[in-house]
Structure 1
Amino acid sequence: MPIGLNRRGCAAGVAVLLLLITNFVRGEPIRVGGTGSALGTMKILGEAFARQNASKIELTLMPNLGSSGALRALQAGAIDIALLSRPLSEAQHAAGLVAFEYGRSPFVLVSSKPGVGNLTPAALADLLGGRTLTWSDGQPVRLVLRPKTDIDSEILASLSQGIAEALTIASRRQGMVIAATDQEAADHAERLPGSLAVSTLALIVSERRKLNVLSFDGVPPSVAALADGSYRHFKSLAMVTRGAPSGAALQFIEFVRSPQGRAILEANGHLVSFKP
């Protein structure tokens, strides 16, 4: 399923997205940052929120923090809303952090190569472990890996014991491309001929990435398949605040929970896990 992308617009999109929403009372921005899987959709939500409120939008460029960096920034008061793809720990809950899971997005295999339709767990393990080095037409497979401690690596390893073992082998192979962020992984996957990487449907759709989303074990990943249980692999995405949200941050979270926000989430690869 090729989905178009303006990759060069991604970095600018992050700038627009991370601090897109204005505090209407004081004219201060709502500072938002976190997992790359959430950035494209948050940009779209932020633009819709600003249009609805006819507000002047302040754009502030923030680095891609990731979930762990966003939590540190949130606890330090550097951002107002952290976007996470990991659940909060008991200690983080005890420290007063409040999480709102706004959606789940299918965890997907992607490739720049057209015509690759499906991978079985055994075939994926062979590709990761180096037992298979080419696609069926002889084109070399170019793996794009994530760091061992990244949630994407954890989810990938959870798909099967064979895949977990093969991923360990892949991480030790020479010349492997290892992407530090979700956007970097998608960039590499687009650039490399014959690539194979992991992502989320939310990122692919919201950023209009020029990548093919593969079926896994015969099941095409989709929001509908995630909802009916036929596709079981996903990332949970949450907005986190220090204490109960208030002010402009609360206004934005309420917009995300609104029928309009829900429609935007569903159109961008999310199974919505809340009631408006």
Structure 2
Amino acid sequence: MAVLRILLAAMLLFGATGYGGPVAAEPALRIGGTGSALGGVQLLLDGLTKRHPEITGVVLPSVGTSGAVKAVAAGALDIGLTSRPLKVAERGLGLAVHPYGATALVFAVRRDNPRNTIRSTEIVDIYEEKITAWGDGTPIRFILRPPSDGDTEILLRFLPRLASAWQAAAEKRIVPVAYTDQEAAELIETIPGAIGPNSLSLILAERRPIRALALDGVMPTVETIRDGTYDLTKTFHFVTRPEPEPAVRAFMEFAASPEGRDILEATGVVPLREGK
């Protein structure tokens, strides 16, 4: 299975250093999945190991939501991180799904971009190439995600008019396409005039040098996600086997603790109660 080969290669490459620091050669917890959750989960893992030094772990590079589900089912991951519920075909794998937080899906720009806010109609106009430059004259370079990507599906439900422009841009094959959340952030960081979708959680947890724009006058924050005024959001889930090992249970209990919830909120994630 391709995802298992990727995970094994990643563990060999990152097993000594992990996502954010040294770990034991044989970690008790192997965590991976959607890229937008990795930075915050690394901070949760760091907090857990400070409280329980006997629990070691590694957060692997992004394998996406689908890859996480397959890897947990195959035993290559102890905790998968997903940004959507399980699909019908995945529900027969016998996995347990634990929603733990919601974050904002945002349009982000480089820090040197003078814009702070954008309207939904402007986003469509940008991707339809009706608006081609920022106010200071810098050409706009928009970033795409693959059509099958979960963020793309959420965006197109939120902005149905964007669908035809998104498809037309993808067919031209001259527009940068980011296949992971981290790659999307890197393209926004490095391309002058870039704008593209990303997650508030990734920007804050990884301290990326990009800015989330206010959408239709509403800034994406924990408060606006919680009260529903910023409604372009997605939910993160922990995916585990039906009877998790003690270290997995300890991790999820820490994530739900006051300390864990503080970590989540500091990284732009509104904690959810189990089953919400």
TM over 0.5: yes
**In structure 1, distance between residues paired with 2:135 and 2:96:** 48
Q: CA shift at 1:18, angstroms?
A: 8.3
Match of 2:74 in 1: 76
- Tell me which moved more, 117-126 or 179-188: 117-126
Match of 1:53 in 2: 52
Q: CA shift at 1:258, angstroms?
A: 1.0
SS in structure 2 at match of 1:219: coil
**In structure 2, distance between residues paired with 1:115 and 1:70:** 37
Find out whether 1:218 has 2:214 as its counterpart. Answer: no
- Tell me which moved more, 145-154 or 171-180: 171-180
Structure 1 residues 9-158: aligned runs within 5 Å: 16-17=18-19, 28-55=27-54, 57=56, 62-112=60-110, 113-158=112-157
Amino-acid identity (%): 36
- Tell me which moved more, 168-177 or 245-254: 168-177
Deviations 1:75-102 (A, max 9, x none): 1111111000110134433431111111
Deviations 1:137-156 (A, max 9, x none): 21111111111100111122
Match of 1:244 in 2: 243
TM-score (norm 2): 0.87
The answer to whether the 8 Å contact 2:101/2:237 transfers is yes
Q: CA shift at 1:19, angstroms?
A: 9.7
One-letter code aligned to 1:257:
A
- Tell me which moved more, 171-180 or 86-95: 86-95
Match of 2:182 in 1: 183
**In structure 2, distance between residues paired with 1:143 and 1:213:** 14
Q: CA shift at 1:118, angstroms?
A: 1.6
What is the RMSD computed on CA atoms of the aligned residues?
2.5
**In structure 2, distance between residues paired with 1:15 and 1:234:** 32
Q: CA shift at 1:16, angstroms?
A: 2.8
Corresponding pairs, count: 261
SS in structure 2 at match of 1:177: coil
One-letter code aligned to 1:41:
G
Match of 1:3 in 2: none
Deviations 1:166-199 (A, max 9, x none): 2222222341100110000001110111110111
**In structure 2, distance between residues paired with 1:169 and 1:132:** 16
Q: CA shift at 1:110, angstroms?
A: 0.2
Q: CA shift at 1:56, angstroms?
A: 7.0
Q: CA shift at 1:62, angstroms?
A: 3.7
Q: CA shift at 1:272, angstroms?
A: 1.0
Structure 2: where are the runs of 5+ without partners? 1-12
One-letter code aligned to 1:16:
G
Match of 1:270 in 2: 269
**In structure 1, distance between residues paired with 2:229 and 2:127:** 24
**In structure 2, distance between residues paired with 1:69 and 1:192:** 28
Structure 1: where are the runs of 5+ without partners? 1-10
The answer to whether the 8 Å contact 2:19/2:61 transfers is no
**In structure 1, distance between residues paired with 2:22 and 2:235:** 23
The answer to whether the 8 Å contact 2:30/2:57 transfers is no
The answer to whether the 8 Å contact 1:21/1:50 transfers is no
The answer to whether the 8 Å contact 2:28/2:57 transfers is yes
SS in structure 1 at match of 2:268: coil
Q: CA shift at 1:241, angstroms?
A: 0.5
